[in-house]
Amino acid sequence: GYVFIINLIPLHVFVLLLMGRYSKRVYIAYSTFFITGLILSMQIPFVGFQPIKTSEHMASAGVFALINAYAVIKYVQSFLTKAEFKFFFISAVGGAASIIFCTVVGLTWAGVIHPWSGRFYSLWDTGYAKIHIPIIASVSEHQPTTWVSFFFDLHILVCAFPAGVWYCVKHVNDERVFVILYAIFASYFAGVMVRLMLTLTPVVCVLAAIAFSKTFEIYLKDDAPKSSGKETSEEPAESKNDRLYDKVGKTKKTKEEKPKDQDAMGMNIKTIVIIALLMILMLFAVHCTWVTSSAYSSPSIVLASYNHDGSRTILDDFREAYYWLRQNTDDKARIMSWWDYGYQIAGMGNRTTLVDNNTWNNSHIALVGKAMSSNETAAYDIMRQLDVNYVLVIFGGVIGYSGDDINKFLWMVRIAEGEHPRDIKEADYFTPQGEFRVDSAGSQTLLNCLMYKLSYYRFGELQLDFRSPAGYDRTRGVEIGNKNFKLTHLEEAYTSEHWLVRIYKVKDLENREKVAKPTIPAQKWKKRTSKKTSRKRTGSIKNQPKIVKGKRKSGKK
């Protein structure tokens, strides 16, 4: 957010220089803003030295150097002749510009000044992120804004704010140049990314307010003439306000003309227009209240749906699942899920996650995507390397929730393919006709990957209603293609009430199914005799004397 402001203000100063509206007031204001803002921004821990090491901040530094050079030139111009000034301008300005340009290029090449990040590249080249950094394009907030979203968020202001822009162009001054630039660039950026609608709304409110204010001023104005045509050196208050802080110009005498009778508007027309505007503003207030209550007041972990009779049903599966994690898993348990739910698991479940919404480690996110895209055996090896204890997936096939992991799965594949192109290929998850299907016609790679199995485990046994077969996915509107499968390396630990959140425990190595050992035939052991008594005597046991049954041992009398 602050990068937009830190570049918009220098752009405003640069345009003022091009329009010939330079003044000491502009020079002092921008120099103070740049120096103070630079020092204060570097006090923020996560910003640090970014203002002097990243390309996003170089525009403000360049304009600061430009306006100081312009001030020096204006000062020197008063002491030199035309020929001397021309020579000074060409040599000094050309040399300084060359030195600055070479310095910036050299520092960028050396790595001291970092290039633009992927998010800023995608603002100018909308297809850059999808090709080079798919994790940026996978975020729903980075998608282009639809016309419906503009009307949903701005309502009547969409039609009113162009009139405000036209008024600022017609009565331009230094301040209105900033408003015009703000409106133009914010409109473009809001069209590229839906999250940048936040940067557009302030200027839309300002310009729409100007449009309504001027309209009310016209239709509430008294048509009765105040005086006859007289020359006066005093200007109307409106003209004075329009020229406030503007370029200093000569005060011209104005002549108040008597309004013509045919230019006057009737009371009926004024009343109709004013009532219509008031009704539009009332509808705008009602719309804003409804949007705030329905779209921007519900937390993302609590879903609400409306029944046919208008009653509201609360789906609390997310909170229940996070509560289960907090109460039934070890404090040091590691949870593997897609990065969308990292902050929620850490905050509400109080458990460690592999990836979260910060998305700073693209390679780690790609490794999680590879595990989700691989078969169960290959995914198990990855999970053992990452010391994963539980796997959490979001499945909306029961209630028709379209934001589940199956609908996000292709982004997991694309991100994983970017880091592991030999193991993961996006084309393997499509049918020969190029379709992404989860029914029997789907790709075998898709039907046997970990994400598919964790989402649809035991779902083939569930019949939602009598009109649909068992295993009917309400979100995709098809019957799943792989029903009868069992998990080998994971076991189901928890499934929420509406099957929205499913948690699986990763089995330890000793709990894996063991392969039956081959039977070895018993060997017959041969009797061994001592070498000293190798001659075997009949009737002797371990060299005991020979005993004959029925006879006594002879002895001396």
- What's the Cα-to-Cα distance from 107 to each of 45, 115, 274, 482, 510, rounded to whole Å? 24, 10, 60, 56, 56
Q: Which two tokens stand for residue 323?
A: 């509560």
Q: Give the span between the Cα atoms of 478 and 464, in whole angstroms.
A: 13
Q: Average pLDDT of the chain?
A: 83
| Confidence category of residue 248, pLDDT binned at 50, 70, 90 | very low
Helical ranges in 220-316 per DSSP H: 237-242, 267-294
Give the other-Cβ count within 10 Å of 385's Cβ.
10
Segment 474-501 mean pLDDT: 93
Chain center to CA of 2: 17
Of 291-300, 330-339, 401-410, the one with minimum mean pLDDT is 291-300
| pLDDT exceeds 60 at position 238 | no
Which is more confidently placed, 266 or 468?
A: 468
For residue 110, what pLDDT is reported? 74
Strands 334-336, 254-255: pairing kind: unpaired
Q: How far apart are the first and last CA of the chain?
A: 126
Question: Could you give the angle at the alpha carbon of 335 between the alpha carbons of 331 and 337, nearest 5°?
Answer: 155
For residue 254, what pLDDT is reported? 53
DSSP output for 403-417? TSTTTTHHHHHHHHH
Q: Give the span between the Cα atoms of 404 and 474, in whole angstroms.
A: 12
Strands 490-495, 501-506: pairing kind: antiparallel
Segment 157-176 mean pLDDT: 93
| Confidence category of residue 294, pLDDT binned at 50, 70, 90 | confident
Sheet containing strand 390-394, strands side by side: 352-353, 334-336, 390-394, 501-506, 490-495
**List of long-range contacts for 37-45, beta carbons under 8 Å, 24+ apart:** 37/6, 41/2
Which residues, 6+ apart, have CB-to-CB distance to 362 below 8 Å?
133, 135, 415, 418, 419
Q: Which domains does the chain have, with CATH numbers?
A: 1-115 (no CATH), 146-223+265-298 (no CATH), 314-510 (3.40.50.12610)
| pLDDT exceeds 90 at position 478 | yes
For residue 457, what pLDDT is reported? 95
Which is more confidently placed, 228 or 54?
A: 54
| pLDDT exceeds 70 at position 256 | no
Segment 198-209 mean pLDDT: 94
For residue 518, what pLDDT is reported? 66
Tell me, what DSSP letter sits at residue 194? G
